[in-house]
């Protein structure tokens, strides 16, 4: 039997305690991840120097190809191994998925499983993290992930989602050029410089102007095109090879996917060679024909000049929006593999009159900057280097390059609303582009009361164009549980750009001071209604949720017929006809009731406006007595109790004082309780106090005069016409 020695027990206990205390302080390291279109990289802060450094991959390389391969048996390869599969023409090797982050139309079915760009990104992130942990021997606790400045809310949220799926705790999402500016801060000595960051990667182009001084990086503006990158230059070379081969042999391989793929891979190599060699020879062997095609820098430059032109116009657009020009730029930082192309460097030299700034490795800058950002404490900007290794270290290590950062948003945030004339849907901008983030703006919307109103839809848009569909429709937010507290509900909607460039929407109801529940719903695929005239659109079913019914209740007591020469009933009839003209039969059904000593429902709410108008024209001859001893509420209540309408109105028009007011008021109140809106319109000797009592809200009681009757009815028409689920 084995005897346990006392001291070994002690040893075990000590080890356990040490491990316990280590797990408390050793939270793992914080890294920066450059999730690139073509290559990705992971960086950390060196615990010994405080400098950002790349965690190389298992092949000893700084970057890992952003490629995923899913094998027939479901096995997954990533990085270099997946890129090799792609080079062999494997269909299930997927690259450039970053270009489709958040794109619901981009997905691949592999072995019966569907993958979108978020899935591929999460697979890549998970493996990058795992490999970096293995190589560095450190546990990765959390990360700052970079995205192109031009990424919209949808793309940023998709990136966050990918990180979450990969089990990575995201400290922040930061813009690639801003990260590069951090990295540049490592080596920069001079202060107060205005820098242009020209970031041309494999699939995206971003340009940013920032002021860099000793303690902070203030981004002034940013613009870009996230469907432009090195791949487009590869396509130009591939196209040239294809055309040359066809010209010489008469054979085209443009429909042969496998050959095109192989040529594309070759084209990328040629492109890279052209960054250091003037001329490259490309042997092409297809369909029994062998050709050697030559391409030199000048051919390459002229065949792709339209792409350079695009980057130039993006820069010009940025200069215009921040009111600067090349003469304001002290230096240019080049970021992204594609800035190695001679034509990019020449262009920068030509425009800025200077060589691009050196000291930043174009492939590593973004990840290095992200690592600095990941380890920034707000105050002081320092870093407990020793803690990362589980050892206590007295000295606070300052991170090289640590600066405060003020970033901006690359897109205006707006919402779909109607223009002033009410004849167009527009993108109404709330937070303009290049505004410092985080940023919030509030707007208050006054909603008219109607019994079915409890929701409000907000379509948030990113972009600058007036026409909603020319921008990105980022989200549909439905504000729920709006309470009916009076004649109107005031909803304060707060639109926020977080420091991550992500959109948040919140709302409070001013009357109750309560926060309202907001549900983010899928933006419908078909948003073509935004191109319609809102008035036309409201006619269609989609514009108004719920059926609206109105009963016009007209007082037919004797006073409506005197003086005989200018009978009030004539004006009342004209005003009611006007009212009907302003309504839409497919939205609002209208009925008619006359009342005096008795009442009569001439027509229940109908969409047959022709018949309705005839009833209105003939209402003056209705036999309901000459006094005021009846009221319309009992009958109105009985009708609506059986009606399926969601929104119900009784519009009461009267010119005098009623005989049995208490009964009328109590019957009117019964209607209010049941959710029937009572609008009371009085003129002549009508009593305002009484009108207020029968109306369901104070501003639903109007004392007017005969000449204003039509105007008052127009207001009622607007009130009722605005019913339904509100789209703003
Ligand atoms: P990134 O997304 O920043 O990793 O950039 C990748 C892009 O840079 C790819 O399109 C590469 O083909 C391109 N690239 C890398 N090295 C070179 C080079 N020497 N010359 C031209 N393009 C390059």
Q: What is the pLDDT of residues 410-420, one digit of tens each?
A: 899 999 988 87
Per-residue pLDDT at 19? 29
CA 268 / ligand 1 centre spacing (Å) = 8
Per-residue pLDDT at 559? 87
Determine the residue of 96, 272, 311 to mutate for testing ligand 1's pocket, defined as the one with the most ligand atoms within 8 A of the Cβ atom.
272
Question: Phi, psi (5° rounding) for residue 85?
Answer: -65, -40
Tell me if 126 CB under 6 Å of ligand 1.
Answer: no
pLDDT band at 192 (very low <50, low <70, confident <90, very high): confident
Nearest-CA residue for atom 20 of ligand 1 = 272
Tens-digit pLDDT profile for residues 605-660: 999 999 999 999 999 999 998 889 999 999 999 999 999 887 889 999 998 889 99
Of 13-17, 321-325, 360-364, the one with minimum mean pLDDT is: 13-17
Average pLDDT (332-358) is: 91
724 vs 586, residue with greater confidence? 586
Which tokens hold the place of 274? Answer: 């052209």
- Helix-, strand-, coil-residue percentages of the chain, each rounded to 5: 35, 30, 35
Q: Pick from 194, 254, 184: which is nearest to 220 by CA?
A: 194
Q: Is the pLDDT of residue 141 over 60?
A: yes
697 vs 299, residue with greater confidence? 299
Q: Is the pLDDT of residue 14 over 50?
A: no
Listed by start position, the domains of the chain span 16-228+309-407, 413-538, 548-724
Nearest-CA residue for atom 18 of ligand 1 = 272
* CATH architecture type of domain 16-228+309-407: 2-Layer Sandwich (3.30)
pLDDT band at 488 (very low <50, low <70, confident <90, very high): low
In CATH, 413-538 is 2.60.34.10:
yes
Per-residue pLDDT at 191? 61
Tell me if 233 CB under 6 Å of ligand 1.
Answer: no
Determine the residue of 128, 202, 341, 344 to mutate for testing ligand 1's pocket, defined as the one with the most ligand atoms within 8 A of the Cβ atom.
202
- Nearest atom, ligand 1, residue 362 CA: 3
| Residue 657 to residue 686: CA distance in whole angstroms | 5
Cα–Cα distances in Å, from 716 out to 540, 601, 636, 644?
Answer: 21, 21, 18, 22
Indicate the average pLDDT of the chain: 85
Nearest-CA residue for atom 19 of ligand 1 = 272
Cα–Cα distances in Å, from 680 out to 17, 201, 455, 549, 654?
Answer: 80, 67, 26, 16, 8
Q: Is the pLDDT of residue 373 over 80?
A: yes
pLDDT band at 390 (very low <50, low <70, confident <90, very high): very low
Tens-digit pLDDT profile for residues 201-259: 888 898 999 988 877 888 999 888 878 999 999 999 999 999 999 999 999 999 998 89
Q: At what angle do helices 257-273 and 230-249 cross, to 10 degrees?
A: 110
Average pLDDT (252-281) is: 94
Tell me if 56 CB under 6 Å of ligand 1.
Answer: no
Per-residue pLDDT at 10? 30
Per-residue pLDDT at 165? 97
* Strands 140-147 and 29-34, bridge-based pairing: parallel
Tens-digit pLDDT profile for residues 94-113: 999 998 999 988 998 888 89
**Percent of the chain's residues with pLDDT above 70:** 88
Of 134-138, 230-234, 449-453, the one with minimum mean pLDDT is: 449-453
Cα–Cα distances in Å, from 209 out to 222, 238, 318, 349, 351?
Answer: 6, 33, 8, 17, 15
Q: Which of 15-24, 357-366, 516-525, 579-588 has the highest mean pLDDT?
A: 516-525
CA 669 / ligand 1 centre spacing (Å) = 75
Tell me if 83 CB under 6 Å of ligand 1.
Answer: no
pLDDT band at 86 (very low <50, low <70, confident <90, very high): confident
The domain defined by 548-724 folds into Rossmann fold (3.40.50)
Average pLDDT (334-344) is: 93
DSSP per-residue letters across 309-333: HHHHHHHHHHHHHHT--GGG--EEE
Tell me if 268 CB under 6 Å of ligand 1.
Answer: yes
DSSP label at residue 565:
G
Cα–Cα distances in Å, from 266 out to 282, 284, 294, 692?
Answer: 8, 10, 13, 82
Tell me if 338 CB under 6 Å of ligand 1.
Answer: yes
Q: Pick from 533, 534, 532, 483: which is nearest to 511 by CA?
A: 483
Average pLDDT (515-528) is: 92
CA 269 / ligand 1 centre spacing (Å) = 10
Per-residue pLDDT at 714? 79
């Amino acid at each position: 039997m084995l005897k346990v020695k006392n001291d070994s027990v002690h040893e075990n206990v000590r080890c356990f305690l040490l491990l316990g205390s280590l797990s408390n302080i050793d939270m793992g390291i914080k890294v920066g991840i450059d999730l690139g279109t073509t290559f990705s990289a992971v960086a950390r802060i060196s615990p010994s120097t405080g400098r950002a450094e790349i965690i190389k991959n298992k092949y000893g390389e700084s970057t890992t190809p952003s490629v995923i391969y899913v094998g027939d048996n479901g096995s997954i390869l990533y990085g270099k191994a997946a890129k090799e599969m792609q080079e062999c023409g494997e269909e299930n090797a997927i690259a450039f998925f970053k270009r489709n982050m958040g794109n619901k139309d981009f997905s691949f079915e592999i072995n019966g499983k569907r993958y979108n760009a978020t899935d591929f990104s999460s697979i890549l992130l998970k493996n990058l993290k795992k490999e970096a942990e293995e190589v560095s021997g450190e546990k990765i606790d959390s990360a700052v992930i970079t995205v192109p400045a031009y990424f919209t809310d949808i793309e940023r949220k998709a990136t966050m989602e990918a990180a979450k799926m990969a089990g990575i705790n995201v400290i922040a999402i930061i813009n690639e050029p801003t990260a590069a500016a951090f990295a540049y801060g490592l080596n920069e000595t001079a202060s107060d410089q205005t820098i242009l960051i020209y970031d041309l990667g494999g699939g995206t182009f971003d340009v940013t102007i920032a002021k860099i001084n000793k303690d902070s990086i203030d981004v002034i503006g940013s613009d870009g095109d996230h469907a432009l990158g090195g791949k487009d230059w590869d396509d130009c070379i591939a196209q040239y090879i294809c055309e040359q081969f066809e010209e010489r042999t008469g054979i085209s391989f443009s429909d042969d996917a496998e050959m095109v793929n192989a040529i594309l891979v070759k084209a990328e190599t040629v492109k890279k060679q052209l960054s250091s060699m003037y001329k490259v020879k490309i042997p092409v062997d297809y369909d029994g024909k062998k050709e050697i095609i030559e391409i030199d820098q000048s051919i390459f430059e002229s065949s792709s000049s339209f792409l350079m032109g695009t980057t130039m116009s993006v820069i010009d657009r940025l200069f215009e929006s921040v009111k600067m020009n090349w003469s304001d730029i002290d230096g240019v930082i080049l970021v992204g593999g594609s800035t190695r192309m001679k034509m990019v460097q020449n262009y920068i030299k030509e425009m800025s009159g200077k060589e691009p700034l050196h000291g930043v490795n174009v492939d590593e800058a973004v990840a290095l900057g992200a690592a600095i950002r990941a380890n920034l404490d707000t105050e002081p900007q320092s870093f407990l280097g020793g803690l990362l290794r589980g050892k206590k270290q007295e000295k606070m290590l300052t991170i090289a390059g640590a600066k405060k950062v003020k970033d901006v948003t690359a897109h205006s945030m707006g919402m779909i609303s109607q223009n002033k004339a009410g004849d167009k849907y527009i993108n109404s901008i709330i937070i303009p582009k290049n505004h410092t983030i985080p940023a919030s703006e509030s707007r208050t919307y006054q909603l008219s009361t109607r019994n079915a109103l409890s929701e409000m839809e907000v379509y948030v848009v990113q972009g600058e164009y007036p026409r909603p569909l020319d921008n990105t429709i980022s989200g549909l937010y439905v504000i729920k549980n709006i309470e009916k507290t009076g004649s109107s509900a005031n909803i304060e909607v707060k639109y926020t750009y977080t420091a991550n460039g992500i959109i948040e929407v919140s709302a409070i109801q001013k009357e109750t001071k309560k926060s309202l529940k907001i549900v983010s719903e899928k933006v419908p695929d078909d948003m073509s209604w935004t191109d319609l005239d809102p008035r036309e659109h409201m006619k269609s079913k989609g514009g108004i949720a719920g059926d609206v019914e109105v009963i016009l209740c007209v007082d037919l007591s004797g006073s409506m017929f005197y003086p005989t020469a200018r009978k009030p009933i004539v004006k009342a009839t004209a005003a009611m006809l006007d009212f009907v003209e302003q309504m839409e039969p497919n939205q609002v059904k209208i009925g008619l009731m006359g009342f005096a000593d008795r009442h009569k429902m001439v027509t229940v709410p109908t969409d047959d406006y022709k018949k309705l108008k005839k009833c209105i024209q003939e209402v003056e001859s209705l036999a309901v007595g000459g006094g005021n001893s009846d009221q319309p509420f009992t009958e109105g209540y009985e009708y609506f109790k059986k009606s399926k309408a969601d929104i119900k109105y009784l519009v009461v028009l009267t010119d005098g004082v009623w005989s049995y007011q208490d009964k009328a008021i109590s019957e009117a109140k019964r209607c209010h309780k049941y959710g029937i809106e009572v609008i009371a319109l009085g003129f002549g000797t009508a009593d305002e106090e009484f009108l207020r009592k029968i109306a369901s809200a104070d501003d639903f009681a109007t004392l007017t005069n005969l000449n204003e009757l039509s105007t008052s009815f127009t207001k009622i028409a607007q009130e009722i016409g605005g019913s339904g689920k509100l789209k703003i």
